[in-house]
């Protein structure tokens, strides 16, 4: 089933190569298929060419964490918080702040 969806997305992106939603969907599909290297390409493209696509920052950061690239994850979360704040997407900001705090060890609880 994943391959069928993946092929459809690849067909769509041939006609709309600059569509950020299709790039995001492809990254997600590759990630679900355990093809992190291909997912990474699409997420990085989104950051480079569609920096205001806020959802990318959370998922790219999580992928970096899974790849043991914690410093890259933290930078990605920071960049995403700036974009989320600038676009007034406070829900995304809150989610990014939560994963940033977790990645940096700031999510400890007070006794």
> How far apart (Å, rounded) are the C-alpha atoms in residues 23 and 2?
16
Residue 38 has pLDDT above 50, yes or no: yes
Is-contact 9 22, C-beta < 8 A? yes
What is the H or E stretch that residue 68 is in? none
Q: Tell me the average pLDDT of the chain.
A: 93
Domains of the chain: 2-104 (1.25.40.10)
Query: pLDDT (tens digit, 9 = 90+) per residue, 75-101?
Result: 999 999 999 999 999 999 999 999 999
């Amino acid at each position: 089933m994943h391959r069928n969806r993946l092929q459809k997305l690849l067909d769509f992106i041939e006609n709309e190569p600059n569509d950020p939603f299709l790039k995001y969907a492809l990254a997600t599909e590759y990630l679900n298929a355990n093809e992190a290297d291909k997912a990474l390409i699409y997420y990085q493209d989104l950051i480079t060419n569609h920096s205001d696509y806020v959802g990318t920052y959370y998922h790219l950061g999580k992928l970096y964490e899974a790849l043991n690239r914690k410093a890259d994850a933290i930078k990605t979360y920071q960049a995403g918080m700036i974009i989320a704040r600038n676009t007034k997407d406070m829900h995304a900001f809150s989610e990014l702040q939560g994963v940033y705090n977790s990645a940096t060890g700031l999510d400890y609880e007070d006794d």
